[in-house]
Amino acid sequence: MIVAKFGGTSLASAGQVKKVCNIILSDSRRKVIVVSAPGKRNSDDIKVTNLLIKCAEAYIKTSNADKELNAVIDRFAGIGKELGVPDNVLASIADDITSRLKLYKGDNERFIDAMKAAGEDNCAKLVAGYLQSLGTDARYVNPGDAGLVLSNEFGNAQVLPESYNNLKALKDISGIIIFPGFFGYSREGDVVTFPRGGSDITGSILAAALDAELYENFTDVDCVYSVNPRIIPNPYPIRELTYREMRELAYAGFNVFHEEAMVPVYRKGIPVRIRNTNNPDAPGTTIVKERKNITRPVIGIASDDRFCCINIDKYLMNREIGFGRRVLKILEDERISYEHMPSGIDHISIVLNQQQLNKEKEERIINQVKKELAVDEISVMHNLALIMIVGEGMSETVGIAARATAAFARVGVNIEMINQGVSEISIMFGVKAKDTEKAVKSLYEEFFGDVRGS
């Protein structure tokens, strides 16, 4: 049995929904289908989820959201009419969206989540209605009825353990199940959504609960590429990746699959295949536990330039028990997470996403570290880019770091920091943000120059 998830661009228009249904019907193992809300039809378009957020915000502000509400209803009606979905299905979709406004009781977060979920929920009803009109045995299943229970963190929910047991009962339902992504219900019965892009997470939870043989994730690219296609056009396609590699490559250029979606399938060892709705014959990229065909040491190069680094020096730091813990406690108190922490005998660098800091927070952290830890020096380096080279084949291969550092040197890029874990499947390089493209191009030439454009 396969769980297949289709993203927003795959459901953006009637033509796209037809493609999706052809894919569903072309393999009888596709039993559980997870859908996103209709996404953008072109670059100027607005996703249904964003329309719904505007709708909720307008209603909170002015108690009137007629314009925004009609825009959402029109999107669904436009798609449904072109597909020949019966009028009663379209009327119930319009009713559902309109009636959600009545849920507003002054609790903004709860209300926004209930509105946001309308995109996926009604898209699932629409796709089920269309499949039924073709004579297919398909049905919409509500996540609440199926027992998808989430933490009550609005807009940032996490799956609760009882869900996995509850969802097993879906196996007893005949025909094709159309399941809306992105939301579930809290134990208190409220609609709660995952973080944005969270339909991937729903699909992964279902695949794990149902012990699927495969989790297919249909999107609008043929595969995962070895480097950000915005930096290198037509880069080398990756056919197979391990979960670990995908995780190490989480930075920009590799965000086709929501990072939180990896956890449920990873725990069960269920393979994930990224595929293109617009080109379903393309083999896609499969993410697996172990890879047998390791022909190249480096499988991917990820880069992201939104980081900063807190550098701390103190003589005899290595002898001071609890130094690292106390620094991290200061960050914890500011609700800040970090990405990497390369260190030396008298030195610690803490790399974190720059968006988590502002001037006041930065000053507070510096003052606190000075006060509590009597450090010799502390400074914050802004506009840092991280570049990761990743591959299971790097482990035990001699000379990878030499080749990488030579690639930086050839284009005159200074390496601010390097970090390699004992697993040896990735090396992280920190460079100035302005040097990112130059460095990535040179690394790509070094590790993929032999297959350029293939």
Task: Give CA–CA dist 429/281, Å, rounded.
Answer: 37
182 interacts with ligand ASP by CB under 6 A: yes
Residue closer to ligand ASP (CB basis): 124 or 246: 124
CB of 406 to ligand ASP, least distance (A): 41
Q: Is 177 helix (H, G, I), strand (E, B) or coil?
A: strand
Look up residue 68 and give its two tokens: 């925004």
Task: Find how far residue 51's CA is from the centre of its chain.
Answer: 21
199 contacts ligand ASP (rule: CB under 6 A): yes
Binding of residue 47 to ligand ASP (CB under 6 A): yes
Smallest distance from ligand ASP to CB 234, Å? 27
Contact in structure between 268 and 213 (CB atoms under 8 Å): no
Pick one of 4, 8, 11, 122: the residue that binds ligand ASP (CB under 6 A): 8
Please state the closest distance from residue 355 (CB atom) to ligand ASP, in A. Answer: 18
Site for ligand ASP in 328-367 (CB under 6 A): none
| Spatial contact of 131 and 24, defined as CB atoms under 8 Å apart | yes
Q: Of how many residues is the chain composed?
A: 454
List 181, 235, 391, 393, residue binding ligand ASP (CB under 6 A) = 181
Q: Which 3 state secondary structure label does DSSP give 65?
A: coil
Which residues from 222-281 bind ligand ASP, rule CB under 6 A?
A: none
Give dist(CA 427, CA 401) in Å, integer: 8
Residue 7 vs 184, nearer CB to ligand ASP: 7
Angle at Cα 368 formed by Cα 315 and Cα 430, nearest 5°? 65
Does residue 54 touch ligand ASP according to CB under 6 A?
Answer: no
CB 245, CB 390: distance < 8 Å: yes
For position 119 contacting ligand ASP by CB under 6 A, the verdict is yes
In the complex, residue closest to ligand ASP by CB: 199
Contact flag: residue 196 with ligand ASP (CB under 6 A)? yes
Q: How far apart are CA 236 and CA 454, in angstroms?
A: 6
Provide the mask over 26-45, with x wherever binding to ligand ASP is found by CB under 6 A and - wherever it is not. ----------xx--------
**302 with 388: CB under 8 angstroms?**
yes
Tell me how far, at minimum, the Cβ of 30 lies from ligand ASP, in Å: 19
Taking CB under 6 A as the rule, does residue 49 contact ligand ASP?
A: yes
Cα–Cα distance measured from residue 13 to residue 188, given in angstroms and rounded to the nearest whole number = 35
| CB nearer ligand ASP, residue 37 or residue 124 | 37
Rounded to a whole number of angstroms, the minimum distance from the CB of residue 46 to ligand ASP is: 11
Q: Which of 374, 364, 378 is nearest to 311 (CA)?
A: 378
For residues 198 and 253, which CB has a smaller minimum distance to ligand ASP in the complex? 198
Among 190-198, 203-211, 230-238, 398-406, the segment contacting ligand ASP (CB under 6 A): 190-198
Among the residue ranges 127-135, 147-155, 191-199, 239-247, the one whose residues contact ligand ASP (CB under 6 A) = 191-199
Q: Mark the segment that binds ligand ASP (CB under 6 A) among 76-84, 150-158, 194-202, 217-225.
A: 194-202
Selected from 80, 143, 147, 198, the binder of ligand ASP by CB under 6 A is 198
Smallest distance from ligand ASP to CB 119, Å: 5
Closest to 33 measured CA to CA, from 41, 43, 42, 21: 21
Nearest distance from residue 208's CB to ligand ASP, in Å?
Answer: 17
B/e letters for 400-429, b = 16+ CB within 10 Å, e = fewer, are: beeebeebbeeeebebbbebbeeebbbbbb
Choices 107-115, 192-200, 260-268, 362-370; region in contact with ligand ASP by CB under 6 A: 192-200
Contact window for ligand ASP (CB under 6 A) among 193-201, 368-376, 396-404, 442-450: 193-201
Nearer to ligand ASP among residue 163 and residue 199 (C-beta)? 199
If phi > 0 it is left, if psi is from -120 to 50 it is alpha, else beta; for residue 211 that is left
Which of residues 158 and 397 has its CB atom nearest to ligand ASP in the complex? Answer: 158
Query: Which residue, 36 or 349, has its beta carbon nearer to ligand ASP?
Result: 36
According to the binding rule CB under 6 A, does residue 303 interact with ligand ASP?
no
Facing residues of 311 across strands?
Answer: 349, 379
Any contact of residue 197 with ligand ASP (CB under 6 A)? yes
| Number of chain positions touching ligand ASP (CB under 6 A) | 13
Q: Is the dihedral of CA 250, 256, 260, 261 positive or negative?
A: negative
Q: Counting beta carbons within 10 angstroms of the beta carbon of residue 280, is it exposed (0 to 12), middle (13 to 18) or buried (19 or more)? A: middle
Between residues 7 and 129, which has the closer beta carbon with respect to ligand ASP?
7
Question: Closest Cα to residue 420, out of 332, 349, 342, 314?
Answer: 342
CB of 182 to ligand ASP, least distance (A): 4
Contacts of 116 (CB under 8 A, 6+ apart): 49, 52, 53, 56, 155, 182, 183, 193
The residue ranges that bind ligand ASP (CB under 6 A) are 7-8, 36-37, 47, 49, 119, 181-182, 196-199
